Chains A and B, each alone.
Chain A
Amino acid sequence: MKVIPLIKNETQLIARAIKNNRGAQQCLYDLHSGKMLSVCRMYVKDLHHAEEVMLNGFFKVFKYLADFKNEGSFEGWIRKIMIRECISFLRSEKALEFKEEGLEEFNGSFNNIESDINVDEIQQIIDSLPEGYRVVFVMYAVEGYKHLEISKILNINIGTSKSQLFKARKMLQEKLRTQNISGYGTVKI
């Protein structure tokens, strides 16, 4: 019986994958594909399209793997590529449109609703948002991007990014309330 040594070290895997070692590339794909498909699914409604976007993303990951400097986490680097790939997909589908609106209109408060719903239900609620709202909301609330970063990536004004988030929150709160989710306390934003 042959013993195939498992390469657990990710840096070794990356080094081998740079040299077009298919085995190492497959290992990296298997390690990250589940999470990356989840990321793509947050932005792209259809799972089949999300998978396509993810494959395109991984293709770019392996193509430009030599450019990866071990400064940050490899997962973070792939994640960035996936997000950009999702945005370019939505742009190609002409689904991504942003209305330029002033921030003054959105100085309001939110009921700090606590949700107790599962991931599939969360995904459903997010899917119900318009494309622009959804992208900004996911980038801000889930990925942790700042408005400045979002505005640069999406090529929009910071005000637009804030207004999109404001509207997305409002819509989500209403949806959560209608689903009889218990809420308590108020927080001024």
Chain B
Amino acid sequence: MGQLKFEKDFSEKLNKRKIEPKAGNWEELSARLNSEEKSKRPIFWWIGIAATIVGGILIFSILFNKPISETPEIVNTPEEEILKEKIEPQQISFEKPASKEVAKPEKASVKPVENIFSKKEPVANTQLTSMGKPQETPKTENNHTQKDPELMKETKISGIPEEVIAEASSKANKTGEITDAEVDALLAEALTKIKGDKIAKSVSENIDAKSLLLGVELEMEQSIREKVFDVLKEGYFKARTAVVNRN
């Protein structure tokens, strides 16, 4: 279907036509454009405010997360060091004399002593959880305490009460020989005293003032952080609702 003659005429005449609009039309359009621009600006402002709030939250979260991650490290490191300090001097105290004085005549008798204390110490640190085990120790100690009074002196360091050692040494000096029954009795007495001391120690170790303080500090820090987060959250939500209401 092509264009008809009258259609061509219509098209030419209509396309040439110009109708002048009213004088105030541009002012009306200009006002509309101005209001459009103004309505755009506050949105940018609100977006900027929201962005700064979010940025602030991120910065605070980074700042407040750091000390929390560091505090456990501060607490853990001294504990490890203390444990090492506890274990090391004992090992040294037993190894040195054993190598110097007891090494050649009674090699077999030295080894059980080391074993006893290497087993016993962790038990002491873990607050004496098992109480039945020490019954085996008198038998092992029995062999080397019979003939070695100097070795008995060394056991003093490991925790055997001085009274028991003194009694044993006096008996040995008087009679020259100590019977197995006497040794057993002395060791049993020593064990009961050691147990008593360790229980007392464990009771004192249970309530650690430092750990308590650190725990409280950690809780305090967490609560402050939560408060700051709450305040920032509130601000952010307020800004967001304001933007939504504005739109």
> Which residues of the other chain, A, contact B210 by a CB distance below 8 angstroms?
none
Query: Contact at B14–A114, with CB atoms within 8 Å?
Result: no
Query: Contact at A113–B6, with CB atoms within 8 Å?
Result: yes
Q: How far is the CA of A28 from the CA of B243 in the complex (A)?
A: 35
A contacts with B, residue count (CB < 8 A): 44
Query: Contact at B3–A141, with CB atoms within 8 Å?
Result: yes
Q: How far is the CA of A30 from the CA of B9 in the complex (A)?
A: 27
Query: Contact at A51–B32, with CB atoms within 8 Å?
Result: no
Given A20-B33, A25-B33; A42-B14 close (CB under 8 Å):
yes
Tell whether B179 is near chain A: CB-to-CB under 8 Å.
no
Query: Contact at B13–A189, with CB atoms within 8 Å?
Result: no
Tell whether B69 is near chain A: CB-to-CB under 8 Å.
no
Query: Contact at A114–B9, with CB atoms within 8 Å?
Result: yes
- Chain B residue nearest to A35 in the complex (CB): B18
- Chain A residue nearest to B34 in the complex (CB): A22
> Which residues of the other chain, A, contact B14 by a CB distance below 8 angstroms?
38, 42, 119, 122-123, 142
> Which residues of the other chain, A, contact B37 by a CB distance below 8 angstroms?
20
Interface size class of chain B, counting residues whose CB lies under 8 Å from the partner chain: 20 to 34
Q: How far is the CA of A176 from the CA of B15 in the complex (A)?
A: 20
> Which residues of the other chain, A, contact B19 by a CB distance below 8 angstroms?
34, 37-38, 41, 47, 50
Stretch at the interface among A4-12, A56-64, A90-98: A56-64
Query: Contact at A142–B29, with CB atoms within 8 Å?
Result: no
Tell whether A45 is near chain B: CB-to-CB under 8 Å.
no
Q: How far is the CA of A97 from the CA of B212 in the complex (A)?
A: 83
Q: Is the interface of B mostly helix, strand, loop or mixed?
A: helix
- Chain B residue nearest to A123 in the complex (CB): B14
Query: Contact at B21–A34, with CB atoms within 8 Å?
Result: yes
Q: How far is the CB of B94 from chain A (nearest CB, A)?
A: 87
Tell whether A33 is near chain B: CB-to-CB under 8 Å.
yes
CB 8 Å contact bits of A104-124 with B (1 = contact, 0 = none): 000000101111101100110
- Chain B residue nearest to A176 in the complex (CB): B6
Query: Contact at A142–B10, with CB atoms within 8 Å?
Result: yes
Contacting B36 at CB < 8 Å: which of A54, A63, A113, A116? Answer: A63
Query: Which among A112, A118, A142 has the highest number of chain B CB atoms within 10 Å?
Result: A142
Tell whether B207 is near chain A: CB-to-CB under 8 Å.
no
Tell whether A169 is near chain B: CB-to-CB under 8 Å.
yes
Q: How far is the CA of A172 from the CA of B21 in the complex (A)?
A: 28
Query: Contact at B25–A33, with CB atoms within 8 Å?
Result: yes
Query: Contact at B1–A59, with CB atoms within 8 Å?
Result: no
Q: How far is the CB of B111 from chain A (nearest CB, A)?
A: 90
Q: How far is the CB of A89 from chain B (nearest CB, A)?
A: 16
Query: Contact at B4–A110, with CB atoms within 8 Å?
Result: yes
Tell whether B158 is near chain A: CB-to-CB under 8 Å.
no
Query: Contact at B17–A119, with CB atoms within 8 Å?
Result: yes
Q: How far is the CA of A62 from the CA of B9 in the complex (A)?
A: 33
Tell whether A88 is near chain B: CB-to-CB under 8 Å.
no
> Which residues of the other chain, B, contact A58 by a CB distance below 8 angstroms?
29
Tell whether A1 is near chain B: CB-to-CB under 8 Å.
no
Query: Contact at A38–B17, with CB atoms within 8 Å?
Result: yes
Question: Quick one: which of A136-189 are within 8 Å of B by CB?
Answer: 141-142, 144, 162, 165, 169, 172-173, 176, 187, 189
Q: How far is the CB of B201 from chain A (nearest CB, A)?
A: 81
Contacting A141 at CB < 8 Å: which of B7, B21, B25, B33? Answer: B7
Tell whether A13 is near chain B: CB-to-CB under 8 Å.
no
Tell whether A128 is near chain B: CB-to-CB under 8 Å.
no
Question: Quick one: which of B1-51 are within 8 Å of A by CB?
Answer: 1-7, 9-11, 13-22, 25-26, 28-30, 32-33, 36-37
Show 5 residue pairs from A and B whose CB-CB distance is below 8 angstroms, ordered by the A residue.
A22-B33, A38-B18, A42-B14, A122-B9, A187-B2
A residues sitting closer than 8 Å to B (CB atoms) are 20, 22, 25-26, 29-30, 33-35, 37-38, 41-42, 47, 50-51, 54-55, 58-59, 62-63, 110, 112-116, 118-119, 122-123, 126, 141-142, 144, 162, 165, 169, 172-173, 176, 187, 189
